[in-house]
Structure 1
Amino acid sequence: MFNKFFSLIGLLSLTVSVAVAQSGIIRGQLTSSETGEELIGATVVIKGTNSGTATDLDGKFSFNNLQPGTYELQASYVSYEPKAVAGVVVKDGEVTVVDIRLGSSTTALKEVVVEARAIRSSEGTLRNIQRKSALVMDGISAEQITRSGDSDAASALTRVTGISVEGSKYVYVRGLGDRYVKTALNGAEIPGLDPNRNTVQMDLFPSNLLDNLTVSKTFTPDLPGSFSGGYVNITTKDFPDRYTLQLSSSVGYNSQATFNSNFLSSNKGGLDWLGFDDDTRAVPDEIDYTIPSESFTNQERAEQIDKATKAFNTEMAPSRMTAPVNHSHTFSLGNQTELFGKQFGYVVGLSYQRNFSYYDNGSFGVWKLKSASAEELDNNKLFSDERGVEEVTLGLLANFSYKLNNNNKISLNLMRNQNGQNSSRFLSGTYPENFGVYDESAIFESRALHYIQRSLTSGQLKGEHVLPGFKNSKVDWLASFTLSQQDEPDLRFFANDYFITGADTAYSIRVSNYSPPSRFFRNLDETNLDLKLNLETPFTIWNGLEAKTKFGVAALLKDRSFRENIYRYRFSNAYNYNGNVEEFFAPENLGIVMQPSDPESGGIYNYGVYLQDGSQRTNNYDGEESVYAGYAMIDLPVTEKLRVVAGARLEATDIYVESFNPLLEPGNLNQVDILPSVNTTYSLTEKMNFRLGYSRTLARPNFREIAPYTSFDFVGEPALVGNANLKRTLIDNFDARWEWYPAVAEYIGVSAYYKNFQNPIERTINTLAQNPQIDINNVDNAKVYGLEFEINKRLSFVTPSLENFLVGANLSLTKSQVNISESELALIRTLNPEAESTRPMFGQSPFVANATLSYQSEPLGLVATASFNMFGDRISAISIGGTPNIYERSRPIAGLVVSKRISEHFSAKVSANNILNPAYKHSHEYKGEEYIYSSYKVGRDFSVGLTYLIN
């Protein structure tokens, strides 16, 4: 069935492509072999004919309507050695791609003849970009992503040197978390979806829509100044040089979830399978009023309470189902053609994933050190943890590019990513903090039903222009609008406890000790408008060397709204809970259970289980942020080997956040910063560089952190307390790197770095407060320094028989130190007099390691890759007081992917991920003993897929 479907799609698409192309085409690009930059206005001719053309602003050229045969191209450009490319074969209805690199002419002009070659490797292209970059850069190409079998940007980035991912979503660069990492989509900044985070969740971007992911680890003035760890740029697929169609499908099996009949679930809407809630979980339409507090004598208020209580669905506990197989499907189509006589390129892509995950092997505990002489930590909570998650990700991409002429081009990029996650969770265990004394017969139970819908919609309009009359200066501009939305409709919690005495079990719901049954509705909308204008002017300096200046202005405007409604269930003292959740919410028990015989005489209304509005104006806020910037820089080749890129960026920041509680002062931050940067590159040889760099960058608090109010995380975490007096953080960055590119796609590098932070922002868990809370404060100083090692090398240097094997490995070693504030240190030393005055930075891993071994055989059409990733223990929660900090423990992740071409258009792929199935564990350590905060395993994943490709 699949074979017939793929063949039909291919036949129809091929028919369309042949119908518009009855003769052959040659396309290509001219670039400098020294700088990697495109050569604009270079001449390309077909030898022995009158056909000739000039390269456009991308260095690209095209010859259309050529008769089938073999041709020779001749390329030339002022100050470069001409080159002839022989053996260029043109076939009827096909596109032949020839990319040419010209070397600078340092002696008398001469012609070099080479043979035509196939389209360049994406990995090789990325390495060339890295080699010629003005700054320290790492990345991963689409080719590498395909080899490793990663499904989204988050998992793909774990292959990059010095990068780890928290919670399968948030990127850490050199151990620095989302506060110090900036994310961009095709060069435009995009907002995050988590109200408490500074960056976007990277699992939103399906890998089949990506061309490459680059991570700039040093700063140049043409980049935003608000990062220190890294600037991650997500580059989506561009239109190809020839007609391309790809269709893929795969099915997967998870060892803990697939076909498990005990999979935890809950009610679903009709559009859950697309990642949308269809208002199944919305506040009922009948509730168009504020639910009043209970009234036992007022008829109108009593009837409003009754109506609201009965309008909601009564599912407040997880159900069970059998989880089906995971599955994934992707489609992409791209080509170049002519539109109104001008070159037009396009690519459209669509991806769909639906995955199920489950664990019943989890544990969750809360621990506290209560005295300096204690031999162990006291247990406040200790639960078994069970959770089922169904997740859908839908991605849509459309890129269009229109070349008005050789000097002017405009592009439009449209992207929509949609994610829906339906999770159900059940916790059960001891809760001594609740019951007052430790008693194993006292059991606490908690249930959570959580649906979260995330979406990111982006539209980018870009222009590139060459000014021939002004030294071939280049002007580029960008206008990008992004809307990110996170909707959490009907997040439900139901908790109770029970005691077992002999054969009797006594259930209760103690609203004085923990929250009553509750329903939460919250949504976050954030818009980003990113505007950029850059002018780059080349000029010739001493010894004929080419330098350039670059100037630009930018504006980033953010607007966020956050809304939350809370509904809590109450019940009369006479109403008893018997342990059955369904019976508790049975229709006969809801709302008014007994009405007075004569309401008009002021009789008493009796309630069973009834609803109250628990919303707090404090938890709703609006925020605005504007950053206006201007910069100037110069790219100066001091000698043929020494390159200096220097300049400065000015950023003016204005952040304003206002809670709906008029009694709270708004959070406000106004600042103007000048951020200098110097990056030097010394070319030891044509393939070897040594880099040194210094820059100053900054980190700003996010909207939620600067809003001075207290809110509660719905999954039972401590309250979050904002701080209107937060300062921005200034960071001085020093970098050095030695890098060697022995051959195409090969790389060996060693890096060293040092970072000094002024006023870093830290989060701490204050367990000494009346109720545990997370405080956000500036501390005086922090330092980070480390080393990075990376190698990507074919094993042919060992023996020629290993030519098809490619090994890749990287290791990042990092040490960080934060000065603990005097007040916090005093609290710590009341229980731990020997405590040190410094600690590692939050989220900082002492090491991150990656390794891959790939086998590639073009004749066999076979690619096999084994991969391994691991990071060192890192702080995931900082405790105030003597209780040890919580660490996310190291875990090894291993995978294997094998793909095989089985025909001209078909290929198959099998993969195994998370082979070792390690525990995802967070824990304290005290006097050599480990105390689990949370721990679970997610199971092993296996998949098999089929791809149909026309190229």
Structure 2
Amino acid sequence: MLRKITSLISLLGLTVSVVFAQSGVIRGQLTSSETGEELIGATVVIKGTSNGAATDLDGKFNLANIKPGTYEVQASYISYEPKTVTGVVVKENEVTVLNIRLGAATTNLKEVVIEGRAIRSSENTLRNTQKKAAVVMDGISAEQFSRSGDSDAAAALTRVTGISLEGSKYVYVRGLGDRYVKTSLNGAEIPGLDPNRNTVQMDLFPSNLLDNLTVSKTFTPDMPGSFSGGFVNITTKDFPDRYTLQFSTSIGYNDQATFNNRFLSSNKGGSDWLGFDDGTRAVPDAINYQIPFESYSNKQLAEQIDEATNAFNTEMGPKRMTAPVNHSHSFSLGNQTELFGRQFGYVVGLSYQRNYAYYNNGTFGLWELNSVGANGLNNNNLYEDEKGVEEVSLGFLSNFALKLNSNNKVSLNLIRNQSGSNSSRYLFGTYPGTSGVSDDRAIFESRALHYTQRALSSAQLKGEHVLTGLKGSKVDWLASFTLSQQDEPDLRFFANDYFVNGTDTTYRIQPAAYTLPSRFFRDLDETNLDVKVNIETPLTIWNGLEAKTKFGAAAIRKDRKFRENIYRYRFNEGYGYNGSIADFFAPENLGIVARPEDPESGGLYRYGVFLEDGSQRTNNYDGQEAVYAGYAMVDLPLTAKLRVVTGARVEVTDMFVESFNKSLMPGELNQVDVLPSVNATYSLTEKMNLRAGYSRTLARPNFREIAPYTSFDFVGEPAFTGNANLERTTIDNFDTRWEWYPNLGEYVSVSAFYKNFQNPIERTINTLAQNNEIFIKNVDNAKVYGLEFEVNKRLSFISSGLDNFIVSSNLSLIKSEVSIEPQELEIIRAVRPGADATRPLFGQSPFVANASLTYQNDSLGLIATANYNVFGDRISAISVGGTPNIYERSRPLASLVVSKRLGDSFTAKVSVDNIFNPAFVNSHEYNGKEYIYSSYKQGRTFAVGVTYRID
């Protein structure tokens, strides 16, 4: 195997050698040291030769056919000081990367001579982008989340100031989530995969396929206007300046799951290891027709019921297995060469992960406050909770770019991410709801088998052009098509209760529809078509300062289809259940057990266990959303130190959602919004900025929220009803920030923000419905305000002996407040007279803190990073009646990653995650006492891996 790999690498190297034709290449980019922007049309020459080139629309240059040796490279551009880089070494068949920053010219132009240096790290590039941005922006680079050992975009984003995660995949910015966070992929909007949410599941994106993640916390008119917390942009890997090949592999051990022979699992298909079901869990062909209602005399209908009942497999409960080790692998290949005589770059990447998680020490409880002045909450259910989860993630990325000439470039980006999660759960415990049985003897058992497959496919075609005839105006355009899919095939539930009476045990399956053994099939398909164009024109204004105007248009079309089919098992009176699932589904008990010709049948068809179609047309819906936008803005330096970016965006929204139940009013939203923005940046010094900004943005309801039907969760949650009359929310955003960049890659900042929400969309109680179901509606007003602090600095300012240590920490302190509706407040105060009239926004934490300490020794090739993350208690579920809301409790998360370079091409890495192994707790609090809704531990994970890289 090693010989084959060596041969492949040698072949690739031979190909590269042919391309270079026994010579070397110098490639790089020219940027402004003042603005960080690329310099288009600048001149780069090798001194003493005729070999030179002009920079293209990216500020990049390419000097080819250079004989091996050491050279001086000179860069010059009108109104900038020329710069000469000495000691630039060119080697045979290799690319030398040289990035140069030019400073603005002084009165007397003079040449600056510097020594040749390597390409800046991506972390430094990100900090420079942050420094020169027109908005309050934070982010994390590939270098940073490689140091932290983060495997996907969700984990990496937790290192960013003011960001926390819900459910390990949903991003909250400044305590705001879901509808208040917008996510884009290389600038194109992408749909989410959860039918009940407005945001993207960030764990879909493997970190090894990403260049950086940025979070814009203030709005400019060239951004979509539907965010308030943050606009997250996922930037995938771009093609490199020279040939690179990388392969990584690792294995991991979880101290609760790995090699545990009691790991809960279920039946699997042949392609589960690739993250999708191969049809094992599909609805059998025999059920392509509607299952008829139970018939006792019609032979054709009875035979259909019998055939449908026997068509499904009868695995309705978890089984035990031994969980293997976690493992992950990735591969990427990239280069820059020529195609049809034009400069061509490409990168191709693959990633694969398979992880196992298990707990058997969990707790699940349902509690209720049912009387005024009660000493505590009444326990409705209290269960032991056991769960096993196998997760597979497969990612593919390809990016191709062709420079037609120095002023025109087109690129194509193709992405496919696939994931599968196979979850098996068992609940066991007291069940006071069993009629006629005292609480201490009633036992409830529930089993759930849940497979979810998610897929995101994206094709993005982009163009960038410089119009030399129009004062160097730049035009960029994008056409992106994205298909997102979430399928839940054969979601199975089997529940029963029993009690012991002396030596006898009595088992029972409740006859209510939502407690019968059931199988659910859900499919969500959503397409996004995103088209946009931007035109940017530079202008020279007073004092020789350069301003820019920018205007553009965008159109987004979303189409969603959601389908749900439900099949339930019923049984006739007198059919006994003895506690065994296998006996319940024994062949002799399924379908028809007696026919009219049988003596004991009484001349009718009789059934044991038989299948019933419980699907509801109401729960199926189609949705369409179109947003058309246009904007204009100006980037205006009023003085050499004061920069103002201002303008406005107009968005036209047309949204329509219709249930299959035509008697329900469809949900519609038709709105025209004008969204102004002004952001000012004052450069106190060359390394210090003061920012202030105001903007108006909005938040729209998602498809599910305006789909006017009622659906039920399966474990403990009340019913949820959509609202066809929802309005969009408008938000006024105020931001200030002081930021300091002491040295390259270092950063210190203090920020303050205030947000005022009109018509925020909140979950509340529908007092007109039975069982106090959760209802979605607009409330009058909400407010969020807070402070943020961030430090990213080398510790050499303490002592020169600490030069290899880098500390990164950030803290967000946030306060939110939303008014409780009068009708809901009346219900709450009926049992809690002193209850507050306001509550925090759903999912909002009062604080979020991150800290990391890195030791980096380049001479030893050694990097070690310790990470710490914690957030404050936040509402995770709104309770009905006067029962206190459920809060997700604060917990500390810590990890350690150590990597060591081995030779020129290999790097070894070891890591440990979840060092403290805290309990994940959701609970009520009443009269100073905590009541557990859910609690479990995930275990510690230890991993070791190796990376091979040619660069």
Q: TM-score, normalised by structure 2?
A: 0.99
Contact 1:6 1:247 in 2 (8 A): no
Shift of 1:822: 1.2
Q: Confirm whether residue 642 of structure 1 aligns to residue 634 of structure 2.
A: no
Contact 1:241 1:336 in 2 (8 A): yes
1:121-143 residue CA offsets vs partner (Å, 9 max, x unmatched): 10000000000000000000000
- Match for residue 696 of structure 1? 696
Structure 2 counterpart SS, 1:469: helix
Q: Confirm whether residue 263 of structure 1 aligns to residue 271 of structure 2.
A: no
Q: How does 1:240-319 map to 2 (within 5 A)?
A: 240-319=240-319
Q: 2:848 corresponds to which letter in structure 1?
A: V
Q: How does 1:762-801 map to 2 (within 5 A)?
A: 762-764=762-764, 770-771=770-771, 773-801=773-801
Structure 2 counterpart SS, 1:771: helix
Contact 1:212 1:236 in 2 (8 A): yes
Shift of 1:495: 0.5
Structure 2 counterpart SS, 1:879: coil
Contact 2:391 2:419 in 1 (8 A): yes
- Match for residue 78 of structure 1? 78
Q: Confirm whether residue 659 of structure 1 aligns to residue 662 of structure 2.
A: no
1:794-823 residue CA offsets vs partner (Å, 9 max, x unmatched): 011111111110000000000011111111
Q: Confirm whether residue 453 of structure 1 aligns to residue 453 of structure 2.
A: yes
- Match for residue 845 of structure 1? 845
Q: How does 1:123-138 map to 2 (within 5 A)?
A: 123-138=123-138
- Match for residue 547 of structure 1? 547
Q: 2:220 corresponds to which letter in structure 1?
A: T
Gaps of 5+ in 2: none
Distance 2:913 2:900 in 1: 18
Shift of 1:769: 5.2
Q: How does 1:560-599 map to 2 (within 5 A)?
A: 560-597=560-597
Q: 1:189 corresponds to which letter in structure 2?
A: E
Q: How does 1:890-929 map to 2 (within 5 A)?
A: 890-929=890-929
Q: Confirm whether residue 937 of structure 1 aligns to residue 937 of structure 2.
A: yes
Q: Confirm whether residue 16 of structure 1 aligns to residue 15 of structure 2.
A: yes
- Match for residue 222 of structure 1? 222
Contact 1:618 1:660 in 2 (8 A): yes
Distance 2:608 2:882 in 1: 45
Shift of 1:837: 1.1
Distance 1:7 1:251 in 2: 23
Structure 2 counterpart SS, 1:304: helix
- Match for residue 44 of structure 1? 44
Measured at CA, do residues 296 and 533 of structure 1 come closer, stay the same or move farther in structure 2, by a change above 3 Å? same
Which segment drifts farther, 83-92 or 768-777? 768-777
Structure 2 counterpart SS, 1:479: strand
Shift of 1:764: 3.2
Distance 2:247 2:934 in 1: 40
Contact 1:74 1:84 in 2 (8 A): yes
Distance 1:436 1:621 in 2: 41
Shift of 1:826: 1.2
1:913-947 residue CA offsets vs partner (Å, 9 max, x unmatched): 00100111100000000000111001000100011
Shift of 1:107: 1.7
Q: 1:301 corresponds to which letter in structure 2?
A: L
Q: 1:198 corresponds to which letter in structure 2?
A: N
Contact 1:658 1:667 in 2 (8 A): yes
Shift of 1:656: 0.2
Q: How does 1:726-741 map to 2 (within 5 A)?
A: 726-741=726-741
Structure 2 counterpart SS, 1:310: helix
Contact 2:266 2:424 in 1 (8 A): yes
Q: 1:815 corresponds to which letter in structure 2?
A: K
Shift of 1:8: 4.7
Structure 2 counterpart SS, 1:20: helix
Structure 2 counterpart SS, 1:286: helix
- Match for residue 88 of structure 1? 88
Contact 2:333 2:347 in 1 (8 A): yes
Shift of 1:494: 0.3
Q: How does 1:670-819 map to 2 (within 5 A)?
A: 670-764=670-764, 770-771=770-771, 773-819=773-819
Q: 1:233 corresponds to which letter in structure 2?
A: N
Contact 2:765 2:824 in 1 (8 A): no
Contact 1:24 1:93 in 2 (8 A): yes
- Match for residue 370 of structure 2? 370
Structure 1 counterpart SS, 2:829: helix
Which segment drifts farther, 781-790 or 874-883? 874-883
Contact 1:458 1:480 in 2 (8 A): yes
1:401-424 residue CA offsets vs partner (Å, 9 max, x unmatched): 000000000000000000000010
Contact 1:767 1:879 in 2 (8 A): no
Shift of 1:597: 1.1
Q: How does 1:476-515 map to 2 (within 5 A)?
A: 476-512=476-512, 514-515=514-515
Structure 1 counterpart SS, 2:286: coil
1:728-761 residue CA offsets vs partner (Å, 9 max, x unmatched): 0000000000000001110000000000000101
Shift of 1:437: 6.7
Distance 2:756 2:319 in 1: 51
Q: 2:773 corresponds to which letter in structure 1?
A: Q
Measured at CA, do residues 288 and 341 of structure 1 come closer, stay the same or move farther in structure 2, by a change above 3 Å? same
Structure 2 counterpart SS, 1:14: helix
Shift of 1:713: 2.5
Structure 1 counterpart SS, 2:771: coil
Distance 1:765 1:581 in 2: 38
Which segment drifts farther, 77-86 or 4-13? 4-13
Measured at CA, do residues 13 and 777 of structure 1 come closer, stay the same or move farther in structure 2, by a change above 3 Å? same
Structure 2 counterpart SS, 1:155: helix
Distance 1:662 1:754 in 2: 43
Measured at CA, do residues 432 and 572 of structure 1 come closer, stay the same or move farther in structure 2, by a change above 3 Å? same
How many residue pairs match? The answer is 949
Distance 2:176 2:576 in 1: 51
Q: 2:388 corresponds to which letter in structure 1?
A: G
1:309-361 residue CA offsets vs partner (Å, 9 max, x unmatched): 00100100100000000000000000000000000000000000000000001
Distance 1:792 1:5 in 2: 44
Shift of 1:287: 1.9
Contact 2:33 2:101 in 1 (8 A): yes
Q: Confirm whether residue 112 of structure 1 aligns to residue 112 of structure 2.
A: yes
The percentage of counterpart residues that share the same residue type is 75
Contact 1:766 1:881 in 2 (8 A): no
Distance 1:492 1:153 in 2: 31
- Match for residue 859 of structure 1? 859
Measured at CA, do residues 535 and 793 of structure 1 come closer, stay the same or move farther in structure 2, by a change above 3 Å? same
Distance 2:910 2:641 in 1: 47
Q: 2:831 corresponds to which letter in structure 1?
A: L
Which segment drifts farther, 755-764 or 509-518? 509-518
Shift of 1:833: 1.4
Q: Confirm whether residue 163 of structure 1 aligns to residue 163 of structure 2.
A: yes
Distance 2:15 2:435 in 1: 73
Distance 2:901 2:17 in 1: 24
Distance 2:7 2:716 in 1: 53
Structure 1 counterpart SS, 2:145: helix
Contact 2:260 2:322 in 1 (8 A): yes
- Match for residue 536 of structure 1? 536
Distance 1:528 1:436 in 2: 54
Distance 1:874 1:88 in 2: 55
Contact 1:297 1:602 in 2 (8 A): no
1:217-264 residue CA offsets vs partner (Å, 9 max, x unmatched): 000000000000000000000000010000000000001000000000
Q: TM-score, normalised by structure 1?
A: 0.99
Shift of 1:770: 3.1
Q: CA RMSD in A?
A: 1.4
Shift of 1:296: 1.0
- Match for residue 950 of structure 1? 950
Gaps of 5+ in 1: none
Distance 2:880 2:604 in 1: 50
Contact 2:292 2:304 in 1 (8 A): yes
Shift of 1:11: 3.2
Contact 2:774 2:880 in 1 (8 A): no
Shift of 1:598: 7.0
Distance 1:105 1:498 in 2: 85
Structure 1 counterpart SS, 2:604: coil
Contact 1:193 1:201 in 2 (8 A): yes
Contact 1:435 1:442 in 2 (8 A): no
Which segment drifts farther, 761-770 or 835-844? 761-770
- Match for residue 820 of structure 2? 820
Structure 1 counterpart SS, 2:119: coil
